[in-house]
Structure 1
Amino acid sequence: MTTEETKKDHILVVDDDPSLLRLISIRLTAAGYQVHSAEHAKQALSILASQTVQLVISDLRMEGMDGMALFEKIRATQPNLPVIIMTAHGTIPDAIHATKQGVFSFLTKPFESQELLDTVQQAIQLQPQSPDFDQAEGTNTWRQQIISRSAVMTSLLQQAQQVAQSDFSVLINSQSGTGKELLAKAIHLASERHDHPFTAINCAAIPEQLLESELFGHKKGAFTGAEQNHVGLFEASDGGTLFLDEIGDMPMNFQVKLLRALQEREIRPVGSTSSIPVDVRIIAATHQNLQKAIANNEFREDLYYRLNVVELSLPPLSDRREDIPLLANHFLQLCNQNTKRPINGFTKEAMEQLISAPWPGNIRQLQNVIEHSVALSTEPLISETLVRNALRDRTSQLPSFQEARDHFEHEYLSKLLKITAGNVSQAARIAQRNRTEFYKLLNKHHLDASKFRETEEE
């Protein structure tokens, strides 16, 4: 296989000097890029109208439309397409003006071949590219909300599309903020159920006493406040897909009722004496380790195997960093729809900062950082300083209530075990909890009482 066959990045070079145009084209072709040449801006616009390219390299001083005017035309129709400007008349004010307007980089002629290639490589790596589409499918309408070009996501989406053709239950395992609901909806849209409802519920957000009514419905007068019949999500999703997010937080008492509904393919509304048949495909998701939850008697093993016919693992953002430029520009465009002062893009340094950040909050955190940066930006481009400050503010903000409670529980339990030298019975009495419940708390926080006994003996 030749270098040209393996390298699919297309570059458009624009220069009214034929010899320099030919020289740059030879250099880029030798490096494995597919090069398109234009001797003036109008010819370049004609090529862009019929050909998809990943980068434009243009001379600044050209007869007729100059390089900056060409850049403005490109930005109006393809705002995410990076442009490198070359000039033999380079000055610091020219460079500052060009980069502030959104030009990716500014090269002063004559430049070294390696300098050109390094700049080209940075431009292509740091800028978003359109994800590949399945040619047999034409348009990927089923996955259009999932923005990605990474190999790991391509593999996952291929699995998702294959799974969608069956009616098996699917369990999506991933960290919070990775887009579990988007993947579930993509599976629904790729299935034969796509013309029927897709309904989502977060099991952790519904109080236990309301969960049965929310999923199965209730009859008028079934309980205080039930003033009319209520159709549950199972019945409302009939023929379609029901997405149960954070299934690991579902109360144990309700898990047996859900299992019965899945096995019998029918539900009984609260207060009703008869069952209703339902035809629903279940997709569940969790960020928890359900195998550990089963071992700790916090999740039913039979329900786990009923839900986990096929398991899909959605990778964290840190494992798909090549998607960050795509996602960042997508969120930037969404922000621009709600602001009177649109932002053109990111500086090279800002994008590098985004790509290298740890992202413990995954895509949800990335969106937060982009929105924060747009809100405080006073320039046409988001700077590295804005991104760094947004990342710092995001990590130093007050913890959520759940995070604060978990931290308190861990510290409290550790202190009890230290005081009692690992005596669980004594610690449970002090905490006014029974031993079974106390052991569950220790398992939840990965605390081993025997370690505290060893410390005391030492």
Structure 2
Amino acid sequence: MSRRVLIVDDEPGIRAALAQLLEFEGYDVKAVASGHEGLATYEAWRPQLTFLDVKMEGIDGLETLKRLRSLDPAAVVVMISGHATVKDAVAATQLGAYDILEKPLDTDRILVTLRNAIGHLDLREENARLRQRVERHGEIVGASAGIRALVEQIARVAPTPARVLITGENGTGKELVARALHRQSPRAKQPFVEVNCAAIPSELIESELFGHMKGSFTGAVQDRAGKFEQADGGTLFLDEIGDMSPSAQAKVLRVLQEGEVTRIGGNKVRKVDVRVLAATNKRLEGEIAAGRFREDLYYRLNVVPMVVPPLRERREDIPMLVEHFLQRLAQESGLPPRQVDDAAMDRLSALDWPGNVRELRNTVERLLILAAGPRIQRSDVDRLVGARAGDASSETGLGTFEHFATYEEFKLAAERAFLEAKLKAHDWNVAETARAIDMPRSNLYKKLERHGLAREQG
């Protein structure tokens, strides 16, 4: 689809020549003779780019530009002037003009400006698509009572400055809750900075949070701002706060109390305005009792507690999540979309998900890639996902026997369950597992490929 370009100029010769050039380059063009016509055409047609003369009868180009930018603050406008002054150029720039061209118009200059402006538009539209994708991917999907209550709590708490402690098992979506709180807060346009306290070595966590000065320790080759400074004005998300070292806990407490940070090796105190959100999969009351977490920090962070329910407590959301992931993953990977038949969906809903939504998402991706036909069948789920101990449908981990149409189907499911259990017992070390079950390693690799067995990430 060609780009729409509007020309607003009171000289018929300029309108005709510019329109002919742009149409030859493949653009969809409309040309009008006055500012009033230009504003009316812009509102009705919504061009992506506008060429606008500075000097015109009636309202001039600068006044037209001012009104046009009020109509559409994102409008991309190139001004045209027969005798542009520095004052005109400054005024046009201040009003948001993309560029200004002088008459007589030079074809090469027009085309260069055109390419640059369209490139600017392409980049802006791509950024908008990426933002929409991030927003879409940040959705908290579900209609269960637990999820509805969580979403309502987010809506109430997000506009306030209150600190929030988000708790829940691994893979339940604690980060999504933190991002939703930030996105619905007055700080939404400011930075959202995340720190995974469990992923950073204890000796580096203080440098990561508070920054450091050059030479303050081995490897500190330059001054570096910490996450608190980076999040100034916005939100800092401390993920897995229960794994933070005691010394870092003490310094975080001080920042929360005083709103100030000092970089390691420095003596300058820096004021920071940061909303802190924290998350953990640990029971912090137990960590406090064991002396591993500061009670005073816990009460500073736990102003508003939020609990993200595990997937086993909201099984009614599983079909919605499966459809959401299928659509999203198909778009991302370019694979054709798949539908899930009822028996397969029932099986997915019956499985236990110790890795929660993260595990379900990985499983849906595996099914999307490896399922045999255009629809995901119950047999695909049994072959590629299999059963695990503790499934809601079974005490054996294989389900009841009527689920298996043939002996071969049952045998494959049993073999998969056996191999997965043995691999987990040996921490997914294939060589050790092969020795333990007395099977050549090459045979085991073939069976892993056949069953789609792979260690879950994250």
Give the TM-score of the pair, scaled to structure 1. Answer: 0.55
Superposition pairs for residues 103-182 of structure 1, below 5 Å? 145-182=139-176
Amino acid at match of 1:194: A
2:293 maps to 1:299: yes
Q: Deviations over 1:305-361 (max 9, x none)?
A: 010011001101111222211211121123323555514211110000111111111
User: Are residues 1:333 and 2:324 paired?
Assistant: no
Cα distance in 2, alignment partners of residues 273 and 358 from structure 1:
53
Q: 1:354 to 1:234 in 2, by over 3 A?
A: same
Over 3 Å counting, the alpha-carbon distance change for 1:314 and 1:340 in structure 2 is: closer
User: Which residue matches 2:277?
Assistant: 283
State the Cα distance separating 1:177 from its structure 2 match: 0.1
Q: Where in structure 2 are the equivalents of 1:344-363 lying within 5 Å?
A: 344-363=338-357
Correspondent of 2:218 among 217, 224, 233:
224
Structure 2 residues without counterparts, runs of 5 or longer? 1-134, 389-416, 430-458
Pick aligned residue for 1:191 from 172, 178, 185: 185
The residue number in structure 2 matching 1:377 is 371
* Aligned equivalent of 1:255, options 249, 259, 274: 249
Q: Structure 1 residues 148, 364: CA separation in 2 closer, same or farther (over 3 Å shift)?
A: same
Q: Counterpart of 1:337 in 2: which secondary structure?
A: helix
Offset of 1:143 from its aligned partner? 9.6
Q: Which residue of 1 aligns with 2:262?
A: 268
Q: TM-score, structure 2 length as denominator?
A: 0.55
In the alignment, the residues of structure 2 paired with residue 176 and residue 278 of structure 1 have an alpha-carbon distance, to the nearest angstrom, of 31
TM-superposition CA deviations, 1:109-139 (whole Å, max 9, x none)? xxxxxxxxxxxxxxxxxxxxxxxxxxxxxxx
The match for 1:214 among 208, 222, 231 is 208
Aligned to 1:53: none
Taking a change above 3 Å as real, the CA distance of residues 403 and 260 of structure 1, as seen in their structure-2 partners, is farther
Calculate percent identity across the aligned residue pairs.
47
Name the structure, 1 or 2, with higher relative contact order (CA <8 Å, separation 6+): 1
User: Counterpart of 2:237 in 1: which secondary structure?
Assistant: strand
Residue 191 to residue 401, structure 1, CA distance change in 2 (3 Å): farther
Contact 2:138 2:176 in 1 (8 A): no
Give the superposed CA RMSD: 2.3
- Structure 1 counterpart SS, 2:306: strand
CA spacing shift, 1:216–1:352, aligned 2, 3 Å: same
The amino acid of 2:162's aligned partner reads: F
Q: Which has the larger radius of gyration?
A: 2
Distance 1:158 1:225 in 2: 46
Which letter does structure 2 place at the counterpart of 1:375?
I
Mapped partners of 2:428, 2:163: distance in 1? 31
Runs (5+) with no aligned partner, structure 1: 1-140, 405-458
Shift of 1:241: 0.6
Q: Is the 8 A contact 1:175 1:287 kept in 2?
A: yes
Check conservation: 1:142, 1:189, Cα contact below 8 A: no
Amino acid at match of 1:389: R
| Alignment match of 1:319 (pick from 309, 313, 316) | 313
Partner of 1:103: none
1:133 maps to what in 2?
A: none
Instruction: Tell me which amino acid in the other structure corresponds to 2:195.
Output: I
CA pair 400-230 structure 1, distance change in 2 beyond 3 A: farther
CA deviation after TM superposition for structure 1 residue 261, in Å = 1.2
Q: SS where residue 198 of structure 2 aligns? A: helix
Going from structure 1 to structure 2, the CA distance change for 1:207 and 1:367 (only over 3 Å counts) comes to same
